[in-house]
Each structure stands twice: as structure tokens, then as C-alpha cells.
Chain A
Amino acid sequence: MPNWRHDISRRLEAAGHVVDIDIVEELAHHAATEYEAARAEGLATDAATERIDALIAAWVADGGRLRHRRRLPVTVLETSPATGSAASGVRRDVRYALRLVRRKPGPALVAALTMALGVGATTVLFSVTWGVLMRPLPWLDADRLIRLAETRQGATRQMPHIMTNGSYLAWQNSPSTISGLAAYRSRTVTSTGAGEPQRIQITMTTASLFPLMQAVPQRGALFSKADEANGKVVVLSHGLWQRQFGGRIDVVGQVAHFDGEAYTIAGVMQPDFAFPERDTQAWVPYMIRPTATPDGGSWIQVFAAIARLNPGATPAQAAQEATARARSAPDPGMATMAVFGTKGASDVRAQPVLEALTSDVREALIVLLAAVGLLLVTATGNIASVQLARAATRRREFAVRAALGAGGGRLARQVLVESLIVGIAGGIAGLGIAALLHRLLPAVLPADFPRVDDIAIDWRVAAFSFAVTLSASLAFGLAPALQAGRLNLASDLKEDAGATGNRFGRSRTAMMRAVIMASQVALACVLLVGASLLIRTFVALLNADRGYDASNVLTAVLATPDGLFTAERRAQLVTETLARLRARPDVASAGVSNAVPLVPGEALMAFTLPPRPGESDPIAVQTAVRVVSPGYFDAMGIAIVEGRAFDARDTATARPVLIVNRAFARKYLPADPVGRRIPANLYERPDWEIAGIVDDILMRPRLTEPVQPELYLAYPQAPDGLGREPIFAVRADRDAERLVDVLRDTIRTQDPAATLESVMTMEDRVMGSLARPRLYATVLAGFSAFALAIAGVGLFGMLSYGVTQRSKELGVRTALGAQPRDIVRLVVGEGVLITVVGTVAGLAIALGLSTWLSAFLYGVAARDALTFTAVPGVLLLVATVASFVPARRASRMDPLSVLKGA
């Protein structure tokens, strides 16, 4: 259609008329309508246009009379009845609903609050699940990054996500499935220079990491493969550059000191690059050496490895290629044995980085998300039940409105709008609750929980929350709405709507509510069973026999880097510290070790023993090596099973002795080994004697891992000494916490360069290792408490309502001679019956689901008898209490006044 407005305004202007745009607009509207009418008459476009042209020409001729005129504001008219009835009707419904809420806010508030808690909990769990499991990692094409995990067929120890030098080097050359491969390993170093020495985490990495991660320096350069052999260059993180080098622009080319060694600063990394961990402060070169050493020995290097898949390649294909290459690599012999406990064929697995990062929490998060889903369903059911009752009490209101001409759809919409208002109010409050809970998350989540920084309430989480709110509101609004729409005018307009019932003597509303109630009890039962199992697991973990006594023991790592401490100085420091501690009256015993339970770090060794009698194969021994001081077993409360502990006799020049744990003795030694020589050449000495056997202890957080064989050396006799980071264990006469300052002072007064880190009581370490089971148990317990409360309140509400509705029937019963006791029994019986039905269903579901939980359980069976009897007991107790109040009210009703119809 031609643009009349433009045409009219142009032609009026050309004729010398000054006309305001309102008039032009009005004329244009007229022209357009006239044009449409002409076309509708069957005129061709040309003819129609001609007619309009003539009309405009006439206007222009009369233009002098189209004077300038004051402009009027535009009024937006309420939409016309034909298109706008639904919208204006809804607006009316909203007003009506708000009026109802104002008049009687109680039920709406309770419903909104229930909704808020349900939506809040669901939103928080979704945001955690989304942030941790699903949000893409911050690297380019992060879905093509894979973590590699090498193992050996028949391996005795699971070492997740490690790779060894042989396999790495074999794959590195012209791989077909990946475009890059990098090895890295993090360690903590003492950074010295300006100011106090600091312990920081740095990552040793092959130069290939940078192109693989597409890292770009902010300043200077990154190191290259050529730097790996020399290794004394460093790329600083943005944070370290700012903190320790004041953000100076001339930092490139200067020197940083880590563990007393000088590294030339090659560059500074971009601020947003954090790999492998958020705390990584610097990157130094890492060289992967061949398995064969120049002196003819063999050498195994263990590290983390990451690769970038070629476009189109899958992790499985990469794993296949890596495995094939690893199997063709030269075998480093006994060193492999020390790490894997077997010399079986290599297997390399590949896992997308996101999956590898979150694999330990994935299942738990999914379980908790499912649990919160159940909770939301329960909350929704509760509101649905309340709304149903409200809808039922308003049957007469609806009937009157229907009689006055409101259709069933109209009434259903009214009820739905009411539910939506309550639901949306609850949803918004729920989002607020979620935002509050979010602030607590960093404190609540265990320290080692992955991707805590990536958890946020963003638009996706908000959208999810909104969708949940909307669908829950629709769900709980639907049943009452349908009921409101399905009116029976004849019966509903009758005086006593409550008397309408089916053959069970219950109205349809009451039946629906009973079904919802039983389902709520069932869901509460499922959640309670889950929570109970997890709580029992936590208690079992807490009380598990770990082989040592964690009470009253203080532990601390003494960082004495090689560049700053000689072996002699370290030994001197340790000996002197132990002597000073032991001299104190509040110290029961003190010792030191290269490895303490729940402190990361492991030293491994492999050697062979002669064949057992009647066998021909030598025994391949794989064992952890612990170097300890006298007093260590006492301090840790580790029992000596046979023989003796180390003592002052075991000096460097004395006859070398060993202590083994029970697992070692059982696995590798003949009966009664104490006092015998071990028939092996260890550290180039053939004369090691077994002095004693100690109890097995659980070193790692996961108690289900089998105990590893352990071999203890007395530290004066250990060729490698205590290592760079000896760990003190000090047993106090009471409350180990008091010794923290004592220990710090003892070290500081001897050597300010030595730093103590990870100073913790053993009890705190145990508690820390249980942070996840504790979190899971707490969250599920919270959910189930909420579900139980909802069920209890729901039952109470339902029975109270039922008593009111059935007041006439109860009055008749009383009038006919029923005692108060009978009435109480009647009402409580109904509550108990519903609970029993719900509980039976819930127990059946819980039995089915409990196997799903078994991966999280310890010391309790998935079908734990105590849990499966206690939970029904709790539910019945709550049901009885919730039923009792309405029952008593029913029994005290005065039959006369009830029957009079008061």
C-alpha cells in the first residue's frame, strides 16, 4: 500500500499549507481505509490509487481550512471486547484473588511460605548442579579437553588421573586423535625475596600446556620446550605479580626465589587463567624424562596429563590410541611395580575435563537434586490440598456465581489465577531465600568441593526457578481449578454442601486430599529413610576404627625445602624440636613421620623376596615406605602388635631394623617374622631385621579402600631421611589445640626460615575428611525434616478441615451415644490409616531406591533394619500427634449446637 502519510504531507506542504502531523495522520488513516474499501469493492490497485489521489487533491485544495491545531495526547483504550475479554477478565480475577487474600491472609501466607522454601531449596541445588556439573569450563573449546588416567591391569592401588613418563613420551610423537598433550604437577614451595617467606602453590608443567590451553601472557612470554631441560624460568600469575612484585612493569627478566632456587621471570599470565587450580601462583617448566636413565637404571615419573582432542575425535578413540602407544613403550620394571603394584599391561582412560573434575560429586549432587525434587513435590502437594479445601468451602460461592452466568471455565480460571498468585509470590520469595543461602555456600561446602567459584544465581538459574514456580503453581492450582469448573449446581446450592458424598461417605475433595496426604507421607518416608541411612553412615565413619587414636593429637607439616635446608640441618631441627616438646609436662609423646594419615603425600617402594616354600616365583613386593622417629607410634596411638617400636637404640650406625604393618606381614612374610632378617637387599644393605609389627591404619579419607602394605624405617637409618616435609605428631595430655603455639614457638626460635603449615589436630583432619558425607547427611536430613513438617502440618490441616465438614455426622454419633473416646479414635484412626498407607508405599519406594544410595553408605546396609523400622515409627508418632488436636476438638463438640445447625 502506498505511503499516504508521506504523500499527503508532501503535497500539503507543496501547496504552501502548514499542517500539523496529527492532521496528516488522521487524513492518512482515512486515505488508507478508503483505499482498502476501494480494493474491497473490486477496484484494481491503479483505480483505487487514483480515487485516493483525487481525495487528497481535494484536501489539498481545501488545505487552508486544515489549520494548525493543539496537539492532544494519545489515549490507550482498554482493548475492545472482542479481543480483550480474556485479558481484562484475568485482571478482574487477579483483583478478586488479591481481595480474597487480604480478607483471609493465613492460608495464602502458609502456602506461599511452603512454596518459597521448596523453590528456594530447589533453586540452590539446581544452581550448584548447574554451576558444578554443567556450566562450560572457561577455556576455549573446553569440551575437547580430556584428562588422562593410566593404570595397569591388575593394579593393587587406584591412583586416579595419573600418567607415567613411558606412556606420555610414547604418545607424544605424532598422535592422530589429539592435537596437543601436556603433563603437569603442582607443588607447594617457599617463595622468598621481598618480605616474609610465603608458601605458595606452583605448577610444574611441560611447555605444551600453554598452546593446548590457548594461554596468552599478559606481559613478557611463556616458556618453550627448550626451557624444559634447564628449567629455571617462571611465568607468574597475575595475582603473584601484583602481590609479591608490586605489579611492576619491569618484572620480566627479574628473579623469583622458590625453595631457595632462582627462577628468571619470563612473563606474567593473564588474570583469568587459573590452571590447574584457582590457587596456582606460578608455572615453571617440567621435563618428562625417558624411563631409561643414563646409568642403565629405570625411572618412573608420575604426573597429571591433559590433552586436546582433534575435531571429530572422541575420548574413547584417544584412550584407545594412548593405550596402544603405552603398551608399546619400554617398561620401567620395578618402578612400575612400586606405583601400580603390578607389571600388567597399561590401560589409559580418557575423560572430558569437566567430567574428571566433578566425578566425585556428580552422583551425590544428582541424588540430592532428586531429593529436593521430591521435597518440592511434597510442598506442591500440600498447597494443592489446602487449595482443594478452600475451593470446596467456596462451592456455594462458585455455585452462586455460576447461577449468575459464570461458566465453568471462568470459575476454573479464577481458581487457577488465585493459585498462580500464591505460587508466584512464593517463587519470588524462594529466589530470595536461594540468594541468601548462596552467601552461606562457601562456608558450607567442603574445601575440596570442585568449581565452587562457578556456582552463581545467573539468568539460567533464575529462569529455572521461574519455570519451577510456574509449573508447581499450575500443578497445585489444577486440581482445585478443575473441581471449581465441574460444578453441580443442584447439589452445591443445597444448604449443606459438606454432606454431598460418595459411597465411602467422603466428598470427592476429601478423597483427593487423602490421596495427596498419603503421597506426602510416602515422600517424607523416602526422604527420611535416605537421611537416616546417610546419618548412620556419617556416624559409622566418625566412629570407624582407623587403627590410630585421633584424640588429643596435634599434627603439623614442617616445610624445609632442599634449597634452604641441608639434610643435616633438617635432622637437627627435628631432633631438637622433639626433645623440647617431650620435655614439657603437657606433652605425652611426640614423633615425626614422612607420612601421616589424611595428609596427602606418599612414598612407595617395590622389591622382590625369595619364593615361598614350594613355589618358584619370587614374591613381588609393593609397599608404602614410612620413615618415622621413635615416639611416633605412641603419639599416634598406633598399637604395636608384635615385637617393639623404634627407640634410641636405632641409630644410623646400629643394626638396621624394620617395622611392618599387619597387611605387609600377612601378604609377604612367613609366620613369626619378628626378630628375623628380611631376605632382601634394601637400600644396598642385606641385613635388615624385622623388629616389630604394627596395626593396620587407614591413611586415606576413603575408608573402603583396602589397607596397603607398609614398611616403617627409623629415620636415623633411612637413607633418604624424612624428606622435605616431615610431619610432627604430638600427643597432649589433654586438648591438643593448646600445643599449637608451643609448636610454632619451638620452630620459630630455632629457625625462622622453617615454616609450619597445615597445623591441625588429628580430630580436625578426620572431621575434614568427612566433610562431604557430613554435608550430604545434613542436607538430606534438612530436606526430610522439612518434608516431615509438611506432612505433619498437612495431616493436621486435613483432619481439622474434615472434622469441621463432618461436624453434623459427628454430632449425630455423639447424640446416639458415642463417647468422646470413640470420636477421638475415629479421627485419629483416619490420620493413622492414611499414614500407614503412605508409609507402606514410601517404604516400598525407599527399598527400591536405597540401592542407589549404597555408593554413599558405610557401616550400614542399604536395607538397614533399624532405619526401616524407626522411620515408620517416627511417621506414626508425628501422625498421631497431628491427629490428636483435631480429634479432641471433635470429641468436645456440643452435639446439640451442631445439630441445630449453628
Chain B
Amino acid sequence: MDTLARELKRGSAELLILALLNEQERHGYDLARLIGERSRGAINFHVASLYPTLYRMEDKGVIDGRWVEKAGQRRRRYYRLTPVGRKALKNHRSVWENFFEGLHLVAGIKHA
């Protein structure tokens, strides 16, 4: 069960990040905050693993990070979706769609 939960979490983390970046460019803190907020705390994404996840996703080429400096602010790293990431998001979505479908059919779990 622990292994399943971890795998689920890891898989969902990527989906969440991709989905949030699909809306607009965001920096790390913003991502962490939004995941917490949007899931109303249900998904307690461990912040400590956010950055390793981001870097791994970047290495895979699904997201792209760049440093941006604005007048009067310290520089921040913004992430955005790459075309590969956009495809990956679509893929993830259908996989999870199917997964929920299955869960619903089998265990009576409905997704929102």
C-alpha cells in the first residue's frame, strides 16, 4: 500500500505541475501553494520534493525553466510547458481519466 501511495503521488505530482503550468508560467513557490489550495489540502504535496521533481521534469524536457529578473524584485525561476510537456499532459490526463473510470466501475469512486 505504501508503495502504491508513493507511486500514485509521484504520478499525480507530474500531472498537477503540468496542469498548472498549462495555464501560465509559474515559479516554484507558486506551484506549491496552488497545489495545496486547489486540492483544498487533500493532496499534501511534500514541498521538499517539489524541486527535485521540477528538475527531473526539466531534464525530461516536458518543462522549461528560466531565470527572470523584474524591477524591484529578486530573480525567480519561472517554469513553462514545452510542446513535449503539452503532449505529456494530454497523455497523463487520458491515463488518469481511464484510471478514474476503472475506479468508478470497480470501487464506486467518482471523480469530480
**With contact pairs A25-B75, A74-B75, A79-B70 given, residues A59 and B29 touching in the complex (Cβ less than 8 Å):** no
Residue from A25, A27, A58, A83 within 8 A of B46 (CB atoms): A58
Q: Are A65 and B55 in contact (CB under 8 A)?
A: yes
CA distance A92 to B75 in the complex (A): 26
Q: Are B55 and A74 in contact (CB under 8 A)?
A: no
- B72 nearest in chain A by CB position: A83
Q: Judge if B49 is at the interface, Cβ distance under 8 Å.
A: yes
Residue from A25, A34, A65, A75 within 8 A of B56 (CB atoms): A65
Q: Are A72 and B66 in contact (CB under 8 A)?
A: yes
CA distance A837 to B6 in the complex (A): 93
Q: Are B68 and A80 in contact (CB under 8 A)?
A: no
In the complex, chain B residues whose CB is within 8 Å of the CB of A69: 55, 58-59
- B46 nearest in chain A by CB position: A58
**Which residues of chain B in 64-100 are interfacial with respect to chain A, using CB atoms and an 8 Å cutoff?**
65-72, 74-77
Residue from B27, B47, B48, B71 within 8 A of A61 (CB atoms): B48
Interface range on chain B (Cβ under 8 Å from partner) = 20 to 34
CA distance A59 to B46 in the complex (A): 10
In the complex, chain A residues whose CB is within 8 Å of the CB of B41: none
Q: Judge if B52 is at the interface, Cβ distance under 8 Å.
A: yes
Residue from A29, A58, A61, A67 within 8 A of B76 (CB atoms): A29
Q: Are B48 and A58 in contact (CB under 8 A)?
A: yes
Q: Are B69 and A75 in contact (CB under 8 A)?
A: yes
Q: How far is the CB of A855 from chain B (nearest CB, A)?
A: 57
Q: How far is the CB of B10 from chain A (nearest CB, A)?
A: 12
Q: Are B74 and A29 in contact (CB under 8 A)?
A: yes
Q: Judge if A26 is at the interface, Cβ distance under 8 Å.
A: yes
Q: Are A80 and B48 in contact (CB under 8 A)?
A: no
Q: Are B29 and A66 in contact (CB under 8 A)?
A: no
**Which residues of chain B in 40-60 are interfacial with respect to chain A, using CB atoms and an 8 Å cutoff?**
46-49, 51-52, 55-56, 58-59
CA distance A33 to B70 in the complex (A): 16
How would residues 69 to 83 of chain A score, 1 for a CB under 8 Å from any chain B CB and 0 otherwise?
100111111011001
Q: Are B47 and A77 in contact (CB under 8 A)?
A: no
Q: Judge if A30 is at the interface, Cβ distance under 8 Å.
A: yes
- A62 nearest in chain B by CB position: B48
CA distance A29 to B67 in the complex (A): 12
Q: How far is the CB of B9 from chain A (nearest CB, A)?
A: 14
In the complex, chain A residues whose CB is within 8 Å of the CB of B72: 83
Q: Are B71 and A26 in contact (CB under 8 A)?
A: no
Q: How far is the CB of B67 from chain A (nearest CB, A)?
A: 4
Q: Are B48 and A55 in contact (CB under 8 A)?
A: yes
In the complex, chain A residues whose CB is within 8 Å of the CB of B33: 37
- B70 nearest in chain A by CB position: A77
Number of contacting residues on A, CB 8 A?
30
CA distance A69 to B67 in the complex (A): 14
In the complex, chain A residues whose CB is within 8 Å of the CB of B67: 22, 72-75
**Which residues of chain A in 28-52 are interfacial with respect to chain B, using CB atoms and an 8 Å cutoff?**
29-30, 32-34, 37
Q: Are B71 and A66 in contact (CB under 8 A)?
A: no
CA distance A657 to B32 in the complex (A): 118
Q: Judge if A23 is at the interface, Cβ distance under 8 Å.
A: yes
**With contact pairs A29-B29, A30-B28 given, residues A74 and B51 touching in the complex (Cβ less than 8 Å):** no
Q: How far is the CB of A226 from chain B (nearest CB, A)?
A: 71
Chain B CB count within 10 A is highest, among A22, A59, A77, for A77
Residue from B29, B49, B68 within 8 A of A33 (CB atoms): B29
CA distance A73 to B66 in the complex (A): 7
In the complex, chain B residues whose CB is within 8 Å of the CB of A32: 74
- B75 nearest in chain A by CB position: A74
Q: Are B48 and A74 in contact (CB under 8 A)?
A: no
CA distance A686 to B51 in the complex (A): 120
CA distance A55 to B77 in the complex (A): 19
**With contact pairs A75-B67, A76-B69, A80-B70 given, residues A23 and B51 touching in the complex (Cβ less than 8 Å):** yes
In the complex, chain A residues whose CB is within 8 Å of the CB of B56: 65
CA distance A288 to B77 in the complex (A): 84
**With contact pairs A67-B55, A77-B70, A80-B70 given, residues A26 and B48 touching in the complex (Cβ less than 8 Å):** no
- A56 nearest in chain B by CB position: B48
In the complex, chain A residues whose CB is within 8 Å of the CB of B46: 58
Q: Are B55 and A77 in contact (CB under 8 A)?
A: no
Q: How far is the CB of A436 from chain B (nearest CB, A)?
A: 40
Q: Are A58 and B47 in contact (CB under 8 A)?
A: yes
Q: Are B51 and A83 in contact (CB under 8 A)?
A: no
**With contact pairs A26-B28, A26-B77 given, residues A59 and B69 touching in the complex (Cβ less than 8 Å):** no
In the complex, chain A residues whose CB is within 8 Å of the CB of B77: 22, 25-26, 29
CA distance A121 to B76 in the complex (A): 52
Q: Are A79 and B71 in contact (CB under 8 A)?
A: yes
Q: How far is the CB of A23 from chain B (nearest CB, A)?
A: 7
CA distance A581 to B43 in the complex (A): 120
Q: How far is the CB of A1 from chain B (nearest CB, A)?
A: 12
Q: How far is the CB of B34 from chain A (nearest CB, A)?
A: 13
In the complex, chain B residues whose CB is within 8 Å of the CB of A76: 68-70
**Which residues of chain A in 59-117 are interfacial with respect to chain B, using CB atoms and an 8 Å cutoff?**
59, 61-62, 65-67, 69, 72-77, 79-80, 83-84
Chain A CB count within 10 A is highest, among B28, B71, B72, for B71
Q: How far is the CB of B82 from chain A (nearest CB, A)?
A: 14
Give the interface of A toward B (CB within 8 A). 22-23, 25-27, 29-30, 32-34, 37, 55, 58-59, 61-62, 65-67, 69, 72-77, 79-80, 83-84
- List the 8 closest A-B pairs by CB distance, nearest first: A58-B48, A65-B52, A74-B67, A33-B29, A77-B68, A30-B29, A26-B77, A59-B48
- Complex A-B: 9 CB contacts under 8 Å: A26-B51, A29-B27, A34-B29, A62-B52, A65-B52, A66-B52, A74-B67, A75-B66, A79-B70
Given contacts A29-B28, A32-B74, A65-B56, list 18 more A-B pairs with CB under 8 A: A26-B76, A30-B28, A30-B51, A33-B29, A37-B33, A58-B47, A59-B51, A65-B49, A67-B55, A72-B65, A72-B67, A73-B67, A74-B67, A75-B66, A77-B68, A77-B69, A83-B72, A84-B71
